[in-house]
Structure 1
Amino acid sequence: MNDIVLQTHGLVKRFGGITATNNVSMTLRRGARHALIGPNGAGKTTLINQLTGVLPPTEGRVELGGQDITALAAHRRVALGLVRTFQINQLWPSLTPAQSLALVVSQRLGRSRRWWRPLGADDAVLAEVATLLTQFHLDEQAHRATRELPYGKRRLLEIALAVALQPRVLLLDEPAAGVPAAERGEILATVAALPADVSVLLIEHDMDLVFSFATTMTVLVNGTVLTEGTPEAIAADPQVRAVYLGDSMAGIRPGH
């Protein structure tokens, strides 16, 4: 059985005379814990925008579960199970985590016209929301307005909302960005505990998070794939150290 869930073939994106991604071919397998790393300006966000349908590639194609989705709109990719979180969280400030999750779950179940009803009015939605609140350590904040939550909790809520869509592929775009050091451990543990059947592509600069989570890593430099391999191989690669990791690897052991 083919276990490839997401694949790119020779993706190129040009902006005038600038080539932001250059012949990027990458494979994400079922249940993957795959990290995409590289210096600022490497083309990571441009690549993710092509995967999600925000930007059309100049050349190349994107396949989800063997289906060519290169020309599909972003919302149609979400419906097929390709879901993304963002570097800057995209939340409803006035809603509580429970309300936000109820809205997304109701929409997914085709009950979006009734999302505003009291949570207890729909047992299926209520049960799923309760599970998600516990899974993402949001029980105590369930009924506080999102704008009042600590930043780390807002990041957790954003991941919870993405998981509520039951994705086949989850793209985590810098989930630890802006999170205070004291709250990063919770982000790390929650990402590590994501459902095993969800294939995850993580874009992240926090090397503690990357090396504790990923089993495969792709290094992007100047829009081109420099190398790909296990965390151990990437950590030991002199090219990667020279162009990106450098001293940031001090004290980090892959898998810990």
Structure 2
Amino acid sequence: MTDVVLSATGLVMRFGGITATDNVTLNLRRGARHALIGPNGAGKTTLVNLLTGVLTPTAGRIVLEGEDITRLAPHARVARGMVRTFQINQLFDSMTPLETLALVVSQRSGLGAQWWRPLGASGRVSERAAQLLEQFHLGDVAHQPTRELAYGKRRLLEIAIALACEPRVLLLDEPVAGVPAGEREELLQTVAALPADVSVLLIEHDMDLVFSFADRMTVLVNGALLTEGDPDTIAHDPKVKEVYLGQGAVHV
């Protein structure tokens, strides 16, 4: 499967007598728009924590572009091109979006502590930061402290930071969670316009976003794989409808 960029095989995660992840296999294809869905408590967060190295599996194997990363530290996975955005916004409140992106781009470019030099000192850094500000509709707030930004803008900045890390695999962790209705459209458009060469795994409860974005879906229930398929197959799967019964979560 040469077109598979990220492969998780037989993942098991036990916490004492509780099995949070039960023999889950997932393959993320190159350039995919793949959604991971399931009711609360299905094990989505645990699975993502395994993929990103926050947790080490009890059993199973994770391979990124042919390399076994099962026991690799989270920062080492980022360096190899796997980047995650977080459901709980984690940003530098006192820094501006421009400063934040310049810092991330500098670190990714190997300039490290030199990020604090005047932003124009490195044309490469300032140019890339400017591109990201424009791409993520942050130009009008580029010089505002992050703590003053509207919540939707903070989520846009979070995804911009992830892309500044030059990911080959991007794990989008509930990007519209908590975003007011009036700020959602800009965020949805930005997610839809993510670079085609970045393989995206979306973890999301918002089914409008899931069905408009994903070309493939994996459904987890009680830590185990219920089913996987294209959006139309998932929408009409009786097992999936039963799981979401009463939640109005699956389109028909």
> Which range, TM-score by smaller chain?
over 0.9
Q: Secondary structure at the match of 1:115?
A: helix
Could you tell me the TM-score, scaled by structure 1's length? 0.96
Give a deviation string over 1:65-116, Cα, whole Å, max 9, x none.
1111001111100000010010101100000000000000000001122111
Q: Which amino acid aligns with 1:201?
A: L
Structure 2, unmatched stretches of 5+, are none
1:203 aligns with 2:175: no
Taking the aligned partners of 1:50 and 1:244, their CA distance within structure 2 comes to 25
How far is 1:244 from its partner? 2.0
What is the distance in 1 between the residues matched to 2:17 and 2:187?
A: 39
1:145 has 2:145 as partner: yes
Alignment correspondent of 1:236? 236
Whole-angstrom distance in 2 between the partners of 1:148 and 1:203: 27
Change beyond 3 A, Cα 1:120–1:63: same
The amino acid of 2:225's aligned partner reads V
How many residue pairs align between the two structures? 252
Tell me which stretches of 4 or more aligned residues in structure 1 moved more than 4 Å: none
Q: Equivalent residue for 1:122? A: 122
- 2-structure distance, mates of 1:245, 1:80: 40
TM-score (norm 2): 0.97
Q: Deviation per CA, 1:7-31, whole angstroms, max 9, x where unpaired? A: 0010000001110000000000000
Spell out the pairing of 1:119-198 with structure 2 (5 A cutoff).
119-198=119-198
The CA deviation at 1:155 is: 0.4
Q: In 1, Cα distance between the equivalents of 2:247 and 2:110?
A: 50
Counterpart mapping for 1:1-256 below 5 A: 2-244=2-244, 246-249=246-249, 252=251
Structure 1, residues 13-58: CA drift from partner, whole Å, max 9, x if none? Answer: 0001110000000000000000000011100000000000000000
Alpha-carbon separation, structure 2, partners of 1:158 and 1:201: 16
3-state SS in 2 of match to 1:28: strand
Q: Runs of 5+ in structure 1 lacking a partner?
A: none
Structure 1 position 169, deviation (Å): 0.2
SS of structure 2 residue aligned to 1:54: coil
Provide the secondary structure at the position in 2 that maps to 1:137.
coil
Q: Deviations over 1:181-227 (max 9, x none)?
A: 11111111111100000000000001111111000000000000100
Q: Hey, what's the Cα distance between the residues in 1 that align with 2:165 and 2:171?
A: 13
- Work out the CA distance in 2 between the residues paired with 1:57 and 1:126: 40
Counterpart of 1:177 in 2: which secondary structure? coil
